[in-house]
Copies of this chain bind each other. A is one copy, B any other.
Amino acid sequence: MDNQLDTFFAAMADPTRRAVIERLAQGPASVTDLHDPSAMALPSFLKHVNRLESAGLIRSEKTGRTRILNIEAAPLAQAEDWLGRQRRLWEGKLDRLQALAEAMERRKL
């Protein structure tokens, strides 16, 4: 029951974490690179990074003492799909309702 989408959406529901994703979308970066602009204490920030990683949204590779983070695009695409599917379903319904309304209108005139 604990869908992939669960952890994905939960991961994205925080501005700090979304900022990390936004930054990583433009290319890899280290933990401190990402942390620098933030007012938050490093350990708190690290927890966000770890959550992103355990949600499968980023990967990381440690070389020496620095840890380089990379975004993982697949989950984004997956969530995008789900949202699009729901939205299109609903918009399709709307279209059909509107068509029906118009048909009835024509018939009445």
Q: A40-48, A59-67, A69-77, A101-109: which one contacts chain B?
A: A69-77
Question: Given A76-B86, A79-B83 in contact, is the A1-B26 Cβ separation under 8 Å?
Answer: no
Total identical chains: 2
Decide if A68 is an interface residue (CB 8 Å cutoff). no
Q: Are A71 and B90 in contact (CB under 8 A)?
A: yes
Query: Which A1-57 residues have a C-beta within 8 angstroms of B?
Result: 1-3, 5-6, 9-10, 12-15, 18, 21-22, 24-27
Question: Given A80-B84, A86-B22 in contact, is the A13-B15 Cβ separation under 8 Å?
Answer: no
Q: Are B6 and A89 in contact (CB under 8 A)?
A: no
Q: Are B86 and A21 in contact (CB under 8 A)?
A: yes
